[in-house]
Amino acid sequence: MITRMKLVLAMLSVVCLCSAAKPCLAADTKIVLIAGVPSHGPGDHEFNAGVTLLAGWLGKMPGIEPVIVRGGWPTDESVLDGAKSVVFYMDGGSAHPMIQGSRMRTMKRLMDKGVGLVCLHYAVEFPKREVGEQILDWLGGYYETGYSTNPHNDVLVTPSEKHAIARGVKAFQANDEWYYKIRFRPDDKRVTSILTATLPKAGTNVETVAWATERVGGGRSFGFTGGHVHRNWGIPDFRKLVLNAILWTANLHVPRGGAESTVTEEELKAGLDPKK
């Protein structure tokens, strides 16, 4: 009885110390942003500069700890420990860093834990068949070589009005390498179209260029086909959509007006990879 009473008193003293000194805060939400190696020409596929901007905006939000990994898949996978969401901004396809060696097993452990998944632009492209089927489970959709298309179009893209990711996001015009004909499973109730574009020539052919997935067993994912052109991060609604999505995949609250951010011309030009 005395031992139990001492334990209760000790616990109460800890609570009192927290209250008297400063609030006992939970650890910040860790979000890992992985940038691929440089590719394409100047101003395109600026993965390092892109994740630097995203981390800067996220770091200004209370309770978020953004962690940047450069050069593709982390050499030390322990950086993924404790992450609430992982953002991939890199080249994809058959050389996608996520699918090499034993990394799919690492991804499965993360997905089974309910860690959020965000794939931006080329990072939504994967090989079909076995890999593609697994990615459909995790991401909900992907760019399939030989089926999907990747034209450069200056189009008006329109957000969904019924999803938290679209909060505060208005329709915007952007010239980008928008991916069309994304491979989805028919009638997949887990997947919600977040951003649509109307093909300029077809006029009535509406394509999904961003989507959200609530995975079976928990976990949230977001795929976004824009992000080829670095300057598009200067479009307020472009970056608000992506920031909202990162918050949502990490199970964080998306503000009613969406995640706010600002960027200057100098900040857009900072950190660009040296390219010929």
Output the six-digit token pair for 183: 């491979």
The chain-wide mean pLDDT, for the chain, equals 90
User: Residue 19: inside a domain, yes or no?
Assistant: no
User: Residue 12: inside a domain, yes or no?
Assistant: no
Which pLDDT belongs to residue 161? 85
pLDDT band at 202 (very low <50, low <70, confident <90, very high): low
pLDDT band at 200 (very low <50, low <70, confident <90, very high): low
User: Residue 6: inside a domain, yes or no?
Assistant: no
User: Residue 10: inside a domain, yes or no?
Assistant: no
- Domain carrying residue 162: 25-269
Q: What are phi and psi of 29, to 5 degrees?
A: -75, 120
User: Residue 274: inside a domain, yes or no?
Assistant: no
User: Residue 92: inside a domain, yes or no?
Assistant: yes
User: Residue 3: inside a domain, yes or no?
Assistant: no
User: Residue 205: inside a domain, yes or no?
Assistant: yes
Distance CA 222, CA 193 (A): 10
* Average pLDDT estimate for 12-32: 52
pLDDT digits over 231-254, tens only?
999 999 999 999 999 999 999 999
pLDDT band at 53 (very low <50, low <70, confident <90, very high): very high
* Average pLDDT estimate for 137-152: 95
Task: Count how many domains the chain has.
Answer: 1
| H, E, C per residue of the chain | CHHHHHHHHHHHHHHHHHHHHCCCCCCCEEEEEEECCCCCCCCECCHHHHHHHHHHHHHCCCCEEEEEECCCCCCCHHHHCCEEEEEEECCCHHHCHHHCCCHHHHHHHHHHCCCEEEEEHHHHEECCCHHHHHHHHHCCEEEECCCCECCEEEEEEEECCCCHHHCCCCCEEEEEECCECCEECCCCCCEEEEEEEECCCCCCCEEEEEEEEECCCCCEEEEECCCCEHHHHHCHHHHHHHHHHHHHHCCCCCCCCCCCCCCCHHHHHCCCCCCC
Position 18 pLDDT exceeds 70:
no
Which pLDDT belongs to residue 264? 97
pLDDT digits over 126-136, tens only?
999 999 999 99
Position 198 pLDDT exceeds 70:
yes
* CATH number, domain containing residue 40: 3.40.50.880
pTM of the model: 0.89
* Average pLDDT estimate for 89-103: 97
